[in-house]
Structure 1
Amino acid sequence: MLTRRTFFQSSIVAGGSLVAGAPLVLPARLFGAQAPSERVRVGFIGTGNQGMGLLKRFLAAELGEVVAVCDVNEGSFGYKELDHFYGRLPAKQLVEADAKKRIKSGVVPTCEAYADFRKLLDRQDIDAVVIVVPDHWHRIISVLALEAGKDVYCEKPLTFSVADGRPLIDAVRKHKKVFQTGSHERSNPVSQFVCEAAKSGKIGTLQKIVTKVGYNNKVGPGPGWQPMPVPATFDYRAWLGPAPEAAYHVDRCLYRFRFHYDYSGGQITNFGAHCNDMAHWGMGLDVGGPTEIECLDAKFLPAGSLFNTATETRFRCKYANGVELICESGPEMVQTRFEGTTGWLQTGYKGTTASDPALLKDCPPAAKGTSDPHSAHLANFVECVKTRKEPRAPVEVGNSSAVLCHIANAMIRLFPETGPVVAKWDAQNEKFIDNDDANRMLVREVRNPWG
């Protein structure tokens, strides 16, 4: 008998996702009109700043049934902004309040809240998980979810190191699961239009791409900072997990984890995972990488500061097709500019422009509300869970974008000692050629028992 569960766990059917550049319309079958037995049952792992944002969109678009949430934080203020109150109990309350609002009569389903993600993965009634945790947990939780038979949506950057990529790709293909990287610009009609236009030659032969990543948007304590007591509602040991042992400070965790190399890669892996993914997309190189890379500038906080990722940087890549990529810090959070022999196109969070307005004649308007890129990206994932097609940002694409950011960070971290050094990169084998110092940064130590 073909049950809903066995259908979801069948092999992936060959085929593509929705057409790039098509109107951002979410199919009616993804919404609440379908019978409960046909709705995808989902667990959210990580309910902090980004996790709660995705959860709210998932509920607003009625993409499926959220039956469980998980976070090592029971609930607290102080995520991206001081008045943000997030965690597993606020998430549980949000889901149950949404269900109560939608169900006019009968029993309102409950949403289980877990502190340990493994208990959520043990549930056989969960079809898919949305993983929105610090980067150092991405591969570990994703692989365990795949082994538990779940389809996976994992936030970008997909990996924490170059060495994380291959085991994750192998797990996705071995278990025949749908895997979506949270590179939501792949579901943005404007980004689709610009990248496809660059790829198709509408600005002539592509010569140069310039990407922008925002400056650090938080300030942590400087040298001499002191440890703080761990809040009673926060399991700090579980939060650290595979990362090195370290004294607790509120600015080490929650939203600010991204400014510590032990858990993330700064704005290069945060915003850079979007704009540099678009750079690869626009040059028609979804899977692959540069032939050489060079850090041109990097600035850091004083030694002993709690935050240790680069505050400003600029790096250059060259590709086998002759394209040069420059990625640099700036006031724009995300911006990608394609320069060709006959014109240029530029898009980012502040809008889209071109050398000739005629190039933007067919560019769709920016989407808002429940049809924004985040919602559409989640909808594409749910659609693919049902159809078993490949999503817009499959695991190989997410890995290539993350690898570019990781090798950039390797050169950035070496910059204070070496200055500008051109490093040759072997994209097929994912290693530097004749640069042992940089190669040592492609693997991140994993603390037991997670190793």
Structure 2
Amino acid sequence: MKTNKLSRRRAIQVAASSIAIPYFVPKTVLGSPTRAGANDRVRIGLIGLGARCRSLAQDSLAIPDVEVAAVCDCFAPRVDSILNDLGKDQSWTGYTDFRKMIENEDLDGVMVETTTHARAWVACHAMAMGMDAYIEKPMALTIAEGRHMVNIARKFNRVTQIGTQQRSIPLNNWASDLVQDGAIGKINVVMAPNFVGPVEWTPKPGQPLPAGGDEGWWDVWTNQAEMRPYHAELQYGWNRWASYDRGGRCFGVTGWGTHSYDQIQRGLGTSETGPAEIVLDEPVRVEDCGKFDPRKSTDDETGAQYYNMAKNVVGPRGKVTMRYANGTELRLHLDGDWGPGLGCIFIGEKGKIEINRDKVAANPRRLVTGSDNPGHLTVSENTPHIRNWIDCIKTRERCNADIEYGQRSSSLCYLVNIARAVGRVGEPLKWDPTTERFTNCDEGNALLSRTRRAGYELPT
């Protein structure tokens, strides 16, 4: 790490600790109630400039003590596009190599918004180079890859935030605490969706590379995956295919499932562990994710706003049940046209609480109508999550969605995929959440990692 990075980070920590500042420091450095001073601002770089990154960039620009300094994407036209659009009034510098960006810019952290199959490689290198990291979900492509990311973060003492933003929504945390504090007694069952899995890519004739890319950019984009001829469906539809994501679409196992399963972990208080066994309840079938019969949804259906988004999502599905060591049963059975698409339902001895994104319901209803209910967000759902990451960069505390929590939530997604791939209907697969291995399924253990293409190994 460069000396100027160390001194800058120290300055931010001092500013956060409210140490007295000499009277002669210029106002441009000190800032004001509405404008952060230079020593208070956290300088970040953006990596992977797709639609998700643009959304985060816009929300970051609205936070006074965040300074977006540089942007990067291996495909040069995307760099030009964001510079000419969001960056037209900003002094951003554009790069096609994130390592050069980190070497050249005086950054405190990076937002890693790449494709899923490249995410671990980029994030691990960035953290090893001294960057705190906001990492999009799912944070990894396999369980082993995710564990490597956690180890890198801990080795280099990095502040990490995974993009499961429900962890920073006050209403979600308030309702999760109700569940943990026993408002509905011991939790017997948790209900969550039966999400759609990934699809294998069918080889197709290659297409000409699009204009504007630097030499070798398709090799960098392909990253750890098998090198295939360029095709626009790969570049722009990558989250559908198993080589690049593991169900990243709407109502997909990693697309929406990471949010839903992270809500389960938060509510159960199991953020640093996982289930003890996984059972595939039925044969896997390729089907629509719901019936979508015309009907009027009720006020208690927290996922109603997401039903149309899930409509016509077709792919491999199979109900899965997981069990935790304390006996709580997690049933991943719900369809896309009913229930909490991005959340779950906790069923206890004394009632039930349903938690979705910034919306809750309960039976009895009084459980969630008390005066201590924090109410709904008045800002973007990204804003409190980014805010928490920035604050923790200054204090060096763990973020709401620390990388260990992200690893455990992502693991639930991959355990679903593995149970379906192994295909042992009705047979419990015993899972050790400490070693993160199956104790009775070698086929499952073989799917915990995968071979990476030469040149894209993770740093050690």
Q: TM-score, normalised by structure 1?
A: 0.82
Amino acid at match of 1:230: L
Residue 50 of structure 2 is aligned to residue 65 of structure 1: no
Specify the alignment match of 1:19 in structure 2. none
Confirm or deny: 8 A CA contact 1:230 1:248 kept in the other structure.
yes
Confirm or deny: 8 A CA contact 1:68 1:92 kept in the other structure.
no
Q: Deviations over 1:377-408 (max 9, x none)?
A: 01110111112111111111111111121122
Specify the alignment match of 1:326 in structure 2. 331
SS in 1 for 2:76: coil
Confirm or deny: 8 A CA contact 2:134 2:160 kept in the other structure.
yes
Amino acid at match of 2:327: G
What is the distance in 1 between the residues matched to 2:61 and 2:194?
30
Specify the alignment match of 1:55 in structure 2. 57
Specify the alignment match of 1:135 in structure 2. 116
User: How much has 1:244 moved relative to structure 2?
Assistant: 1.0
Cα distance, 1:31–1:384 mapped onto 2, change above 3 Å: farther
Specify the alignment match of 2:225 in structure 1. 243
SS in 1 for 2:139: coil
SS in 2 for 1:65: strand
What is the distance in 1 between the residues matched to 2:317 and 2:148?
32
Alignment of 1:44-443 (within 5 A): 44-75=46-77, 87-99=78-90, 110-212=91-193, 225-234=204-213, 235-254=217-236, 256-266=237-247, 267-297=252-282, 298-300=284-286, 310-328=315-333, 329-331=335-337, 333-349=341-357, 351-361=359-369, 362-368=372-378, 371-415=379-423, 418-443=424-449
SS in 1 for 2:320: strand
Cα distance, 1:222–1:132 mapped onto 2, change above 3 Å: closer
Which residues of structure 1 form unaligned runs of 5+? 14-28, 76-86, 100-109, 302-307
Confirm or deny: 8 A CA contact 2:278 2:321 kept in the other structure.
yes
Aligned residue pair count: 402
Residue 13 of structure 2 is aligned to residue 6 of structure 1: no
Confirm or deny: 8 A CA contact 1:32 1:63 kept in the other structure.
no
SS in 2 for 1:38: coil
What is the distance in 2 between the residues matched to 1:116 and 1:124?
12
User: How much has 1:440 moved relative to structure 2?
Assistant: 0.5
Amino acid at match of 2:343: Q
Q: Deviations over 1:353-383 (max 9, x none)?
A: 1112211123332214xx2331110111011
Deviating more after overlay: 203-212 vs 166-175: 166-175
Confirm or deny: 8 A CA contact 1:43 1:69 kept in the other structure.
yes
Amino acid at match of 2:443: D
Cα distance, 1:161–1:11 mapped onto 2, change above 3 Å: farther
SS in 2 for 1:56: helix
What is the distance in 2 between the residues matched to 1:48 and 1:32?
30
Amino acid at match of 2:361: T
Amino acid at match of 2:437: K
Amino acid at match of 2:432: D
What is the distance in 2 between the residues matched to 1:147 and 1:130?
15
Amino acid at match of 1:314: K
Q: TM-score, normalised by structure 2?
A: 0.80
Confirm or deny: 8 A CA contact 1:153 1:381 kept in the other structure.
yes
Deviating more after overlay: 401-410 vs 223-232: 223-232
User: How much has 1:309 moved relative to structure 2?
Assistant: 9.7
Cα distance, 1:283–1:116 mapped onto 2, change above 3 Å: same
Amino acid at match of 2:223: G
What is the distance in 1 between the residues matched to 2:412 and 2:351?
26
Confirm or deny: 8 A CA contact 1:215 1:330 kept in the other structure.
no
User: How much has 1:321 moved relative to structure 2?
Assistant: 0.9
Which residues of structure 2 form unaligned runs of 5+? 15-30, 288-312
> Superposition RMSD on alpha carbons, in Å?
3.0
SS in 1 for 2:35: coil
Task: Give % identity.
Answer: 26
Cα distance, 1:11–1:424 mapped onto 2, change above 3 Å: farther
User: How much has 1:324 moved relative to structure 2?
Assistant: 0.5
Confirm or deny: 8 A CA contact 2:133 2:159 kept in the other structure.
yes
Confirm or deny: 8 A CA contact 2:176 2:266 kept in the other structure.
yes
Q: Deviations over 1:272-310 (max 9, x none)?
A: 111111111111111111110012243348xxxxxx994
Specify the alignment match of 1:39 in structure 2. 41
Amino acid at match of 1:364: P
What is the distance in 1 between the residues matched to 2:320 and 2:235?
28
Q: Deviations over 1:323-374 (max 9, x none)?
A: 0011244235413111001100112248421112211123332214xx2331
Q: Deviations over 1:83-122 (max 9, x none)?
A: xxxx2222223443343xxxxxxxxxx2111112221122
What is the distance in 2 between the residues matched to 1:137 and 1:62?
30
Confirm or deny: 8 A CA contact 2:196 2:253 kept in the other structure.
no
Confirm or deny: 8 A CA contact 2:72 2:96 kept in the other structure.
yes
SS in 1 for 2:355: strand
SS in 2 for 1:36: coil
What is the distance in 1 between the residues matched to 2:321 and 2:344?
14
Amino acid at match of 1:334: L
User: How much has 1:126 moved relative to structure 2?
Assistant: 1.1
Cα distance, 1:414–1:134 mapped onto 2, change above 3 Å: same
What is the distance in 2 between the residues matched to 1:128 and 1:242?
24
SS in 1 for 2:7: helix
What is the distance in 1 between the residues matched to 2:244 and 2:228?
11
SS in 1 for 2:104: coil
User: How much has 1:148 moved relative to structure 2?
Assistant: 0.9
